[in-house]
A and B are shown apart, each in its own frame.
Chain A
Amino acid sequence: EADIYQTPRYLVIGTGKKITLECSQTMGHDKMYWYQQDPGMELHLIHYSYGVNSTEKGDLSSESTVSRIRTEHFPLTLESARPSHTSQYLCASSEFTGEQYFGPGTRLTVT
């Protein structure tokens, strides 16, 4: 059983608000990822990190930012939320084999 946590699970906020989606893992994995997933669609990688102080943008352009100050923590921040940011955000971590473990996701609605 993977131990990866995301909070909040659901969030409804107004346009222009700043939000941070939290992600933590207790497995000591160096690699962590953020994906965006719309209903019935594939996962799109928006950010990843291969270790502390290492962050990269993924394939899907995103207005969000991430930080990796501690191995276990990989928060995602939206400085000014817009309705186009409405989606599900999935956090994952992986060991060296590439097998990824996923959190439960945060379903974000921007009104």
Chain B
Amino acid sequence: AQSVSQHNHHVILSEAASLELGCNYSYGGTVNLFWYVQYPGQHLQLLLKYFSGDPLVKGIKGFEAEFIKSKFSFNLRKPSVQWSDTAEYFCAVNGGSGQLIFGTGTRLQVFP
């Protein structure tokens, strides 16, 4: 069965710090990969996605993610976080089943 692991459950950073959130998935076939963000009190929004091509994808608000097929990973990065990045971040994989499988989420808190 497909699964998604997010190893960081809760991350606390100061503004301007760099961010990297880990995401690993288990599926040997072709995958579509997503990062979603849920700001406090708001609905889930797509941050970025990877379908094919350049493994380094750029999303909204300065976020990027790198797909490393050999490591089954799709880590999310941002060089300098802001207080407004405080949110819950979910990695998701769409593999052979056609369904989106979500990770448990990472809660990011950014302090001024």
Chain A residues within 8 Å of B, Cβ to Cβ: 33, 40-43, 45, 48, 58-59, 90, 92, 94, 97-105
Contact = CB atoms under 8 A, between A and B. Distances in A.
A58 B105 CA distance: 20
Contacts of A42: 90, 102-105
B94 A98 contact: yes
B107 interface: yes
A97 B100 CA distance: 11
A99 B92 CA distance: 10
Given A33-B100, A92-B44, 8 more contacts: A40-B88, A40-B105, A42-B90, A43-B102, A98-B98, A99-B49, A102-B45, A104-B42
B99 interface: yes
A90 B44 contact: yes
A61 to B, nearest CB: 16
Interface of B: 32, 34, 36, 42-46, 49, 51, 88, 90, 94, 98-100, 102-105, 107
A19 B99 CA distance: 27
A98 B103 contact: no
B32 A98 contact: yes
B61 to A, nearest CB: 15
Nearest to A90: B44
Contacts of B88: 40
A92 to B, nearest CB: 8
Contacts of A97: 32, 51
A104 B43 contact: yes
Given A104-B42, A104-B43, A99 B104 contact: no
Given A43-B90, A90-B44, A105-B43, A100 B103 contact: no
User: Which 8 pairs, one residue from A and one from B, show the smallest C-beta to C-beta distance?
Assistant: A98-B94, A102-B44, A104-B43, A42-B104, A43-B102, A42-B102, A102-B43, A98-B32
